[in-house]
């Protein structure tokens, strides 16, 4: 088989790139190792920057998001049993949309199916070949049969544990990493959210976050030790700890219910420089990872896709490679801003091992400064809603 752009990975990055390219009449073949059902049942991100909202609309998959998504013009920070609101609209002129990554991937798979786009799932033994030549190709197996896809370009959208990044020789790539000494225990419950907007809470016992997916689907997180397993936490123990870490005025309103999902995610910051190797271009988690504190992971995948799509469109329309040549630098400039913001939010809100009372006070004082400074709220809001593309 031959195509123009082979896409490795059917998460949000790969799916969105395939959708945008197909709508621009650029042929793609997407290869995903899991089943479509498996990808869609993963519970991940919940907050869409407005740039992501506009890109999904441009991709023709914004209808259900606009009908079911929740527009949020602010969020709350909490510490010392008090919360205050950061007004995104007032401080940045922008807002975010609450619409789960699960729904985004469902909408994208649906659109690609309607367009009869080439999406190969449950592929195994996926390999990239000759990526630094003018004739790269991909091989994979499905139902025990080996297949080959010849293409012009390969988009590595296969996440942190994928193979694409590893195609860049170690001496040609520089990796930056910070692993955080805690994880997030997340619970999804069919209960009304405790607050109409998200609450990020700093507490001496650890971080907590009250989020949501819709008016009857809540998403809660508490910071836990990396030694913990989700099954170590009974439902009651989770709800009691969440109540303890949220301000009283919030936890008094908490409606609990049996979790329909409970899992622990580790936290890390990671960047791979370069995001290009010959005719292989990395997008999303394949190139970078952020701790979810800043709600940036999915949104960075979208801005990478935006840059790569515009570059490929120009290449095919005008045989002009200058945006392709600038892709890695352009994408990394925005990635590092989000890496810094996610690191800042994580450092501000979490309890680190051996953290002293002095360091707890420093965190509380910075949160108090944000509460009382319009300038500080502008800085936080501008980063949270997302820097321009």
Which residues contact ligand FAS by CB under 6 A? 8-14, 31-34, 39, 44-46, 101, 123, 126, 157-159, 161-163, 265, 284-285, 292, 295-298, 301
Tokens of 46: 């919940």
Residue 293 binds: one of ligand PHB, ligand FAS, none (C-beta under 5 to 8 A by kind): ligand PHB
Tokens of 31: 């290869």
* Of 76, 109, 180, 384, catalytic: 384
Among 22, 92, 105, 211, binds ligand PHB (CB under 6 A): 211
Residue 219 binds: one of ligand FAS, ligand PHB, none (C-beta under 5 to 8 A by kind): ligand PHB
Integer Cα distance of 96 and 75 in angstroms: 10
Integer Cα distance of 75 and 384 in angstroms: 10
Q: Is 296 a catalytic residue?
A: yes
* Of 106, 292, 307, 316, catalytic: 292
Q: Which is nearer to ligand PHB, 311 or 345 (CB)?
A: 345
Q: Which is nearer to ligand PHB, 202 or 211 (CB)?
A: 211
Contact 167, 286 (CB under 8 A): no
Asked if 62 touches ligand PHB (CB under 6 A), the answer is no
Integer Cα distance of 186 and 46 in angstroms: 12
Residue 126 binds: one of ligand PHB, ligand FAS, none (C-beta under 5 to 8 A by kind): ligand FAS
Residue 311 CB contacts under 8 Å (≥ 6 apart), including other chains? 323, 324, 326, 327
**C-alpha torsion 326→328→330→334, nearest 10:** 180
From 299, 325, 328, select the one nearest 388 (Cα to Cα).
299
Asked if 383 touches ligand PHB (CB under 6 A), the answer is no
Q: Which is nearer to ligand FAS, 32 or 197 (CB)?
A: 32
Q: Is 384 a catalytic residue?
A: yes
**C-alpha torsion 129→130→134→139, nearest 10:** -10
Sign of the dihedral defined by the CA atoms of residues 178, 200, 105, 342, in that order: negative
* Of 288, 296, 306, 350, catalytic: 296
**How many residues sit close enough to ligand PHB to count as binding (CB under 6 A)?**
9
Q: Is 72 a catalytic residue?
A: yes
Asked if 46 touches ligand PHB (CB under 6 A), the answer is yes
* Of 76, 99, 180, 200, catalytic: 200
Asked if 19 touches ligand PHB (CB under 6 A), the answer is no
């Amino acid at each position: 088989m031959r195509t123009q752009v082979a896409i490795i990975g059917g998460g949000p990055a790969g799916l969105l790139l395939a959708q945008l390219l197909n709508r621009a009449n650029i042929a793609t073949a997407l290869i995903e190792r899991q089943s479509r059902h498996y990808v869609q049942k993963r519970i991940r991100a919940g907050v869409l920057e407005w740039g992501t909202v506009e890109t999904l609309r441009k991709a023709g998959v914004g209808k259900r998001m606009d009908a079911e998504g929740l527009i949020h013009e602010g969020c709350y920070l909490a510490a010392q049993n008090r919360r205050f609101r950061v007004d995104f609209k007032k401080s940045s002129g922008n807002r975010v949309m609450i619409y789960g990554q699960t729904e985004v991937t469902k909408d994208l798979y649906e659109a690609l199916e309607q367009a009869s786009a080439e999406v190969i799932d449950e592929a195994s033994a996926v390999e990239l070949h000759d990526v630094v030549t003018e004739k790269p190709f991909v091989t994979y197996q499905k139902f025990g049969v080996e297949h080959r896809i010849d293409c012009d370009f390969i988009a590595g959208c296969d996440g942190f544990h994928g193979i694409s990044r590893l195609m860049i020789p170690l001496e040609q790539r520089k990796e930056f990493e910070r692993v955080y000494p805690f994880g997030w225990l997340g619970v999804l419950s069919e209960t009304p959210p405790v607050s109409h907007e998200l609450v990020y809470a700093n507490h001496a016992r650890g971080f907590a976050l009250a989020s949501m997916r819709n008016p009857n689907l809540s998403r809660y997180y508490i910071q836990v030790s990396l030694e913990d397993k989700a099954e170590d936490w009974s439902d009651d123990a989770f709800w009691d700890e969440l109540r303890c870490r949220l301000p009283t005025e919030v936890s008094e309103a908490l409606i609990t219910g049996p979790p329909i999902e409970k899992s622990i995610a580790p936290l890390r910051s990671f960047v791979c420089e370069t995001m290009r190797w010959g005719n292989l271009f990395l997008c999303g988690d394949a190139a970078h990872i952020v701790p979810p504190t800043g709600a940036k992971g999915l949104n960075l995948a979208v801005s990478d896709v935006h840059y790569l799509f515009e570059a490929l469109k120009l290449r095919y329309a005008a045989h002009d490679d200058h945006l392709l040549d600038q892709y890695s630098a352009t994408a990394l400039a925005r990635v590092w801003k989000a890496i810094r913001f996610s690191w800042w939010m994580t450092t501000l809100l979490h309890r680190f091992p051996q953290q002293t009372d002095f360091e707890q006070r420093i965190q509380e004082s910075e949160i108090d400064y944000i509460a009382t400074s319009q300038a500080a709220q502008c800085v936080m809001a501008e980063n949270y809603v997302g820097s321009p593309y």
